Structure 1
Amino acid sequence: MSDDRGRGPDDRDPDDRNPEDELRDMLREFLSGDSTIDPGKLAGAAGLPSDPASIQQLLGQLQNALRNPGGGIDWDIAQQQARTLAGDGAHAVTPAERAQLDQAFSVAQLWLDQATTVSELMTTPELIGRAEWARQTMPLWTQLAEPVALSISDALTRVLTEQAPEEMLGMIQNAGQLMRSIGGALFAMQLGQVVGQLSKEVVSGGDIGIPLLPEGTAALLPQNVAEFGEGLDIPDDQIQLYLAVRELAHARLFRHAKWLRLQLITQITAFAKGISIDTDALESLAENFDPNNPEELREAMVSGRLIPPRSEEQQEALARLETVLALVEGWVDVVTAQATRLLPKADAIAETVRRRRASGGPAESAFATLVGLELRPRRLREAAALWQAVTDAVGQEARDRLWSHPDLLPDASDLDDPTALVARLTADAAGAEPERDALDQAIEDLLRGDTERPSED
């Protein structure tokens, strides 16, 4: 009888080994450096610099995914990537900068009280660094990205199963969770790169439009505020005050309309869950994949090539989402313009904000292709015109009251032509009987029993 004492799991007869162990060993061989795949190229595929420290970090994170298969996506990887990138070139806030921005928030609170009936925040506005912004916002980023990450990982495993030679089929089938973990790790690293770059572009908590920070929180990023004003030939204190007003208006709105944050996040998550992966494109990638050129995998992910055109249902869901986002941003624009009317350079700063918002930054573009969702609403100009028309017709209080319930919020048809909405609000303010449409009249007739019964032959 043979003596197996002292033999490790890797010393077993090859015929006795589990196919999943074989794949695990193959990956360990790569991660230990005994592979023809260039780790520097793989680092580039993950969006990392190809310096030794970044390569070591990448290998360590993949090794962790290898040791813990089936545990879902480790989003701590994204957090680490984002905070590392956010820290590059960051500097601490000086006491003078802090004093100036605190003063800007104080004045902004007073000015907003004259421009809106939405009450002020219960918490003190914050001044945060880039790394802290990445830390606070990452939970929402991962919530938005997870459906797509899981879809890509599942589709990759499915394609590998379909493309694998028969003799390797058992290995691939038994290693599905393992592949999912490693694919998820690569996606998480890519998301971390996007969020880390975004931390260098945004000036405030509400700059992206969606509520990334906890409800009722307002924050400015002092270093980014300073960079926003470079080359504008506008006094720093005016830029700080204008951006403080915008941020407080955004935070006030989401605190006032308590249903709004949940509705937006629910709509975005539902849209992301509806995204499928183009298996034909993935199959082509798998068939022609060159292990020595993993950059091709990254390009496929960040270009959006793996995400097919939106379905009709997705287009409708996106239209509803864009309408709400446009209404939020349009309201903030109108309220900010009213609150900063005494600021000499307000119009110039507003124009800079509009141009910046229209073009977006490189990180926003990367997120759009990575997750299939653009964050900037297309109908912002129409939304701002609607809110201004409502303000001129019925005033701030009636305008702001429309945010008290989702059923009261204007819809896409109101953005097309706000005339009917303004007429209805004006009639309500005057105490006039609202004009009935055909549906209202039909319901009233039905309740009164005035409908004619069909004649009996």
Structure 2
Amino acid sequence: MSDDKSNDNSNEQNPFEQIFGMLFGQGGPGNPGGPGQGASGPQGFNIDPAMMATIMSQMQGLFGQGADPSAQATQIALRSVPSPDPAVSDDAAHAATDAFRLSELWLAEATDLSVANRATATLTRADWVKRTMPGWQKFVLPIKENMSTALTDTLQTQVPEEMKSILAGASSMFSTMSDSMFAMQIGQAVGALSESVLTGTEVGLPLLPHDQAVLVEANIAAFAEEIDVDVSQVRIYLAAQELAHLALFERAPWLAAQVETALTRYAQGLKVDTSQIEEMASSIDPSNISDLSDNIRQGLFNPPTTDEQKRALTTLENLLAVIAGWVDVVVFAASDKLPAREQIREALRRRRATAGPAEKTFSTLVGLELSPRRLRDAAALFAYLESQGGAEARDNVFTHPDLLPTTEDLDDPLGYSERRQAEWAGDSTLDEALSRILAEGTDGASDATAPSAGDADTGASTGADPQAAAGTDSPADGASTSEAKNDTSATHRESASEADEGSDTDSEGPGSEATDDTDRDEK
């Protein structure tokens, strides 16, 4: 009996279970039957306005009504930074500055992209959290906004009609709850990432404002010790990677925009699984609100992905792999004076192959895991382009979004150039076809008014209409040459669309054979 009373008291003290139970069918305290089974209220609902007000007040207090989610995320991340977090010594700061300057000189010999005159810094883990948090907030904003909208829309469409008037007054509370939960998730993820992240662009995104190049000294020292390489060589190699990333984002500013677009497309398909929310609500301990993150990850922020979301994530995965692959090839070429460059490169690749911190963070936030095979295939593609046309051919990939490698290109790096040439030839053929159609249309109009004897004979002997033989409709049919041009353009667009859809299908190609023995071991 005492256990039953204890359970009843626990339920009464859990506002999550109470409110989600009433909204989605479990009923409130004393009414476990759910909609239509209560003792009072519309259609049998046991709705007590005073109790609802109390529950709302409790939840608003738990989630800090009016609090800034960005500030919440930063505070949670800073609390998650591992200790100790040593300050950067003067010697380490000077060594990092020298590493950046030397990397600038080496990269200038390997690429024409601008790498000089950037602001540089050596950070503690906490400093890295504070400086990168605005960037994280920017890139995950579409997901946060759409998750909040999805939660509110789900509540509006799935709760019983008699509850909607009560729910209308709680919409701001649910929005605040969603924002706070998401802030918890981001904060914990970024805080955990700070333990091992090496640079400001390790995740492949420009997270820092003003294109600042940064190194996280404590983690670099630990990484150098782990792979048994002199820390000065590791520092130079990582400084080169950081500068190469920033140079690429400056050369192609639309790269960051494409990442945001892919994230937005993914977020637009987010849906809330109310059955998971109910299960989550019953397991939350209101006295320990900091434990909400794992529950929310399982119940609210990990919905099943739609086909559109999967396509968006594939696009994002390929884009990040292409960025990382280009940096990998350029930095390796630039650092040929480093005795340990091969060892450092392989160690960094293995970090990705074993789901390093950057990949885990992305997986936590958006369900994305950067495939090591895609990264290595991207590196194989850029190495091939460099071998065929030098650094210019390698770097020209980023002169226009249409030149970015597709899934088909990563599967078959050797066919990249042939596919682009075929596309360009197709464009040229289209121009020629349009010109021919326009010319034939003009000739056909003349023939329609005054056909020659030869034309008449041809038409008579074949039984074909002279205008049809000329390849054009008569003016009486109402078909203009511009319409013919539009029809041809539409056909070309349909063909291009079909080609793009085909290129999104993964297949094993020569690109998979381009990896070395070490790559195969990892796989």
TM superposition score normalised by structure 2: 0.67
Change beyond 3 A, Cα 1:160–1:291: farther
The question of 1:389 aligning with 2:407 is answered no
For 2:466, the equivalent position in structure 1 comes to none
One-letter code aligned to 1:237: S
Distance in 2, matches of 1:326 and 1:374, equals 11
For 1:441, the equivalent position in structure 2 comes to 429
Distance in 2, matches of 1:389 and 1:120, equals 23
For 1:3, the equivalent position in structure 2 comes to none
SS of aligned partner of 1:220: strand
One-letter code aligned to 2:305: R
CA contact 1:81–1:189 (8 Å) conserved in 2:
yes
Aligned-pair identity in percent equals 38
The question of 1:143 aligning with 2:152 is answered no
Change beyond 3 A, Cα 1:264–1:230: same
For 2:172, the equivalent position in structure 1 comes to 177
Between Structure 1 and Structure 2, how many residues are aligned?
Answer: 398
Describe the superposition over 1:372-396 as per-residue Cα deviations: whole angstroms up to 9, x where unpaired. Answer: 3345675111111111111111111
Give the alignment's Cα RMSD to 1 decimal: 3.6
Describe the superposition over 1:213-269 as per-residue Cα deviations: whole angstroms up to 9, x where unpaired. Answer: 235321111111111112322111111111111111111111122322222223223
Distance in 2, matches of 1:387 and 1:363, equals 23
Further displaced range: 83-92 or 203-212: 83-92
For 2:334, the equivalent position in structure 1 comes to 339
For 2:204, the equivalent position in structure 1 comes to 209
Describe the superposition over 1:168-225 as per-residue Cα deviations: whole angstroms up to 9, x where unpaired. Answer: 7654442221232133223212221111111222100111112212353211111111
| Counterpart among 237, 241, 261 of residue 242 in structure 1 | 237
Change beyond 3 A, Cα 1:83–1:200: same
CA contact 2:99–2:239 (8 Å) conserved in 1:
yes
Further displaced range: 275-284 or 118-127: 275-284
The question of 1:131 aligning with 2:118 is answered no
One-letter code aligned to 2:329: V
Change beyond 3 A, Cα 1:315–1:236: same
Change beyond 3 A, Cα 1:376–1:136: farther
CA contact 1:402–1:408 (8 Å) conserved in 2:
yes
One-letter code aligned to 2:93: R
Change beyond 3 A, Cα 1:445–1:285: same
SS of aligned partner of 1:113: helix
One-letter code aligned to 1:100: A
CA contact 2:249–2:255 (8 Å) conserved in 1:
yes
CA contact 1:151–1:277 (8 Å) conserved in 2:
no
Distance in 1, matches of 2:271 and 2:417, equals 41
The question of 1:93 aligning with 2:88 is answered yes
The question of 1:104 aligning with 2:99 is answered yes
CA contact 1:86–1:196 (8 Å) conserved in 2:
yes
TM superposition score normalised by structure 1: 0.75
Equivalence map 1:268-283=2 (5 Å): 268-283=263-278
Distance in 2, matches of 1:382 and 1:375, equals 12
CA contact 1:279–1:306 (8 Å) conserved in 2:
no
CA contact 1:86–1:200 (8 Å) conserved in 2:
yes
Equivalence map 1:275-314=2 (5 Å): 275-286=270-281, 288-289=282-283, 291=285, 298-303=293-298, 307-314=302-309
Change beyond 3 A, Cα 1:21–1:364: farther
Change beyond 3 A, Cα 1:230–1:162: same
Distance in 2, matches of 1:328 and 1:251, equals 11
Change beyond 3 A, Cα 1:324–1:63: closer
Deviation of 1:289 (Å): 4.7
Change beyond 3 A, Cα 1:409–1:21: same
Change beyond 3 A, Cα 1:141–1:21: farther
The question of 1:263 aligning with 2:258 is answered yes
Equivalence map 1:49-88=2 (5 Å): 62=62, 64-65=64-65, 68=66, 74-86=69-81, 88=83
One-letter code aligned to 2:309: Q
Which protein has the larger Cα radius of gyration, Structure 1 or Structure 2? 2
| Counterpart among 431, 452, 471 of residue 453 in structure 1 | 471
For 2:347, the equivalent position in structure 1 comes to 352
Higher helix share: 2
SS of aligned partner of 2:235: helix
Deviation of 1:419 (Å): 3.2
Distance in 2, matches of 1:377 and 1:273, equals 27
The answer to which structure, 1 or 2, has the higher relative contact order (CA under 8 A, 6+ apart) is 1
Deviation of 1:325 (Å): 1.5
Change beyond 3 A, Cα 1:295–1:146: same
Further displaced range: 87-96 or 166-175: 166-175
| Counterpart among 172, 182, 193 of residue 198 in structure 1 | 193
Distance in 2, matches of 1:417 and 1:400, equals 19
CA contact 1:304–1:372 (8 Å) conserved in 2:
no
Distance in 2, matches of 1:261 and 1:166, equals 44
